Amino acid sequence: MKRIGILVIAVFGFLSVKAQELNCQVDVIYPQIQGVNTQIFDQMKQDIFEFMNNRKWTNDVFTIEERIECSLILNITEARASSNNYRAEIQIISSRPVFNTDYESPVLNVRDTEVNFEYFQNTQYNFNPDQFRNNLVSVLAYYAYMVIGFDYDTYSPKGGTPYFQQAQRIVQAAQVSNAAGWKAFEGDKNRYWLVEDILHKTFEPLRECLYSYHRLGLDVMSDKAQQGRQQILTSIQKFNQIHRIKPLAYNTQQFFLAKSDEIVNVFKTAPVQERNMAYETLSKVDPGNIAKYDRMQKGK
């Protein structure tokens, strides 16, 4: 397939459309904000859209049809427009097509509640993965690389490594900042740990799962449903290895946040033995979705 790196590029300005990797739908919402000229949020939305979509994130050539489908919702929770400071939550969702179908399989679904940033209209920002200059720019670039990394992992074994490494460079550069979400000691569910763990040997079974689940499982199900379903079962059983070392890890939770409904749909009509085997693993490694798996085991 495709995909490799970015160096120094201008952000938040008009760029010609060249081999974009992302087809990112952007929305900026502000249900709690009052007394602020909302035109600034319209401009913010446009700037984010151009940042995510109008740039070359890799060295690979994409056609329009090959772009990675994703969405980004920036929920402004606090605005101090007089000082250009904002607090927000961000949700990133990505998907990839399943071969020989019109179905889009969810790959990544992350909600980040720690996004504090400065935003100035009509300003061109410079982005370098090894320098921290603006928190919003760094957060957006980080998630662009994470989306690409997860997508590439579904097409080739560990295909996303260069892009996870780019995201990790952004994390390392952000250690000099006071912005939340970048440091290991702040908690075990943030940007630091999402990329740190995906590159750690402990999580190799997750990365193996991303490939085998999608490329060897979902992508063959239109022609060989039983074979594909068996491969998906084998893939999710890999989480047993992670669970023994790091139960309820953030990356494990993120995987099942994206995939739990899909997994239920795959197995609810499977033979009883397969449903039971899937349930045995899922109830242990993803107890947060146990109600869904209970219904799945009953064929509902």
> What tens digit of pLDDT does each residue of 236-295 get?
999 999 999 999 999 999 999 999 999 999 999 999 999 999 999 999 999 999 999 999
What is the per-residue pLDDT for 55? Answer: 87
What number of helices (H) and strands (E) belong to the chain? Answer: 10, 6
- pLDDT at res. 127: 85
| Region 109-130 average pLDDT | 89
Q: What is the pLDDT of residue 19?
A: 56
Are both 224 and 94 inside the same structural domain? Answer: no
Q: Do 69 and 191 belong together in one domain?
A: yes
Does residue 7 lie in a domain region?
Answer: no
> Within this chain, do residues 159 and 220 fall inside the same structural domain, yes or no?
no
What range does the domain containing 231 cover? 205-297
218 and 150 inside one domain? no
228 and 175 within one domain: no
Do 50 and 103 share a domain, yes or no? yes
Distance CA 259, CA 255 (A): 6
- 213/291 Cα distance (integer angstroms): 22
- Please check whether residues 53 and 183 belong to one and the same domain: yes
Residue 138 has pLDDT above 50, yes or no: yes
Q: What whole-number distance in Å separates Cα of residue 282 and Cα of residue 263?
A: 10
Count of domains for the chain: 2
The answer to whether residue 3 is domain-embedded is: no
- Do 253 and 189 belong together in one domain? no
Q: Are residues 170 and 24 in the same domain?
A: yes
pTM of the shown model: 0.92
More confident residue, 14 or 222: 222
Residue ending a domain, choose from 144, 165, 199: 199
Q: Same domain, yes or no, for 188 and 209?
A: no
69 and 91 assigned to the same domain:
yes
Q: Quick one: which of 20, 108, 24, 10 has its CA closest to 64?
A: 20
Per-residue pLDDT, 6: 34
